[in-house]
Structure 1
Amino acid sequence: MARRPGRASWRRSWTGSRTSVRAGRDRRVNRPGDPSRARPPGRPLPQRSPAREATVDEVERSAPSVEEAIEAALAELGATEQEVAVQILQEPRGGFMGVGSQEAVVRVRLRARREEATEEDLEEQAEIAADFVEGLLSRIGLVAEVEQQVDDGTMYLNVVGGESEDDEEDMGLLIGRHGQTLEAVQELTRVVVGHKTGLRCRVIVDVEDYKKRQRARLASRAVEVARRVARTGKEEALDPMNPYERKVVHDAVAGVSGVESSSRGEDPDRRVVIRPRS
């Protein structure tokens, strides 16, 4: 994402940073080339709670393929493949004319880890993630504010630009086509936070509430289709989605009785299929 030559000169002239609380949100202003962006002396990270007894969670899921069964289990646990151990209990079998067929069955277990992040852990993750995102914005030459927002128990880092056309263009570039650039930023943030804390990253990076709006639309659409499937008894396939979007759909469908969901295909054409519960 190259910096536009016509805007670089005045952007470099911005100096200083500030942190203020507005309407319950922690707002941090990022300005490229800001030497004071680093945490000031005497402002340590929030202290993490001592390590607690490890917990192990596991689920068993079945689906037409092993891959679909694993994805359904990951959606249930809210985890990534790197955070689990997978045991294949049963391979799928086609049978003859539908007779003797069987679905794949897997057992997916979260690797031993500390309990869910405490409030102190979440604050630490938000600080680490905010520093990383601010540094990234500075390197690519974008002027934006980074707001920490807690919504329904989830910590969001929302990147907010100005109101000019150039600022709107910058935010569009940061989101990318179908949110692909934003997903890349999220993955980098996840790796940085996980490496520094040893916990699964609970911070979601957003740009001007793009993910919040997207999540609401996806969940509403998924529930609408799931109810139609329950009424008609016919399965329906949704448009191709990335892993984050598929998880939103799986979570929404889980709240509708009489139906179930799984994923089919390979990325980038992988999609969620909603069908009557067998």
Structure 2
Amino acid sequence: MKTLEVTGKTIEDALLNAVNELGVSRDEIEYEVLEEASKGLFGFFGVKPARVKVILKENPVKKTTELLQSIVKAMDLPVDIQVNDNGQAIKVNMQGPDLGVLIGRRGETLDALQYLVNLSVNKNLEKRQKIILDVEGYRTRREETLKKLALRLADKAKRRGKSVVLEPMNAQERRIIHTALQTRDDIYTFSEGEEPYRKIVIAPKKS
């Protein structure tokens, strides 16, 4: 967390000096008054300026954007980064040509990048922020694909009277499958195996 000690004729002057030096807005800082200004004797002798310790607040949205910009720049990828903080999570959608390299096989590269960004941005933050990365709506399309797959395989398990085992998935994708089938009363789902090979089993309920 960046700190700065500044002085000014008044506390407000000191804070103005701080935001100008840091290049931030007033709401991006916190401060602690170290010493009040003193006019001294007759306004001339022993005059002391106000002394303030300014703390730059962590801005997870700004930090996320800057980190991703540095990553795609290093990869020489022209990317438009759109960031939205809805209060529950920071959602990032990246758009541009030839961004398949950021997705990887079944989203593995995107998941790894998301993990690293969460790790980096949340370092030293008092309150953890959830950051979700997406590339041109890939996660939305993938979620719809998984929901359709879940319903199709649930029908298959019920029809054959035998359990169906899905391919290994990450926790986020397994959650989509479980949620898609949680209202079904003719089948049930559970996960088995160890990460990263943990998979979902869809089993028919016995009458």
> TM-score band, normalised by the shorter chain?
0.5 to 0.7
Q: State the distance in 2 between where 1:205 and 1:44 align.
A: 29
1:223 aligns with 2:151: yes
**Hey, what does 2:24 align to over in structure 1?**
42
Relative to the length of structure 1, the TM-score reads 0.48
RMSD: 3.0
Residue of structure 2 aligned with 1:181, choices 109, 115, 140: 109
Secondary structure in 1 matching 2:123: helix
Is the contact between residue 89 and residue 129 of structure 2 (CA under 8 Å) also seen in structure 1?
Answer: no
What are the superposed Cα offsets for residues 165-193 of structure 1, whole Å, 9 maximum, x if unpaired?
A: xx31xx11111222221111100111123
Residue of structure 2 aligned with 1:143, choices 71, 74, 78: 78
**Hey, what does 1:239 align to over in structure 2?**
167
1:159 aligns with 2:94: yes
**Hey, what does 1:128 align to over in structure 2?**
63
Q: State the distance in 1 between where 2:199 and 2:140 align.
A: 20
Secondary structure in 2 matching 1:274: strand
Query: Which sections of structure 1, spanning at least 5 residues, go unmatched?
Result: 1-39, 48-123, 162-166
Q: State the distance in 2 between where 1:180 and 1:264 align.
A: 20
Amino acid in the other structure paired with 2:65 = A
Is the contact between residue 156 and residue 204 of structure 1 (CA under 8 Å) also seen in structure 2?
Answer: yes
Q: State the distance in 2 between where 1:176 and 1:157 align.
A: 17
Amino acid in the other structure paired with 1:197 = L
Q: State the distance in 2 between where 1:255 and 1:233 align.
A: 19
Q: State the distance in 2 between where 1:244 and 1:207 align.
A: 16
Residue of structure 2 aligned with 1:271, choices 175, 199, 202: 199
Higher RCO (C-alpha under 8 Å, 6+ residues apart)? 1
Query: Which sections of structure 2, spanning at least 5 residues, go unmatched?
Result: 1-21, 30-58
1:194 aligns with 2:176: no
Amino acid in the other structure paired with 2:200 = V
- 1:74-85 equivalence runs, <5 A: none
Go from structure 1 to structure 2 and tell me whether the alpha carbon gap of 1:211 and 1:46 turns closer, same or farther (over 3 Å shift): farther
Relative to the length of structure 2, the TM-score reads 0.62
Secondary structure in 2 matching 1:156: strand
Is the contact between residue 90 and residue 129 of structure 2 (CA under 8 Å) also seen in structure 1?
Answer: no
Amino acid in the other structure paired with 2:23 = P
Is the contact between residue 147 and residue 180 of structure 2 (CA under 8 Å) also seen in structure 1?
Answer: yes
Report deviation, 1:271. Answer: 1.7
Q: Give % identity.
A: 28
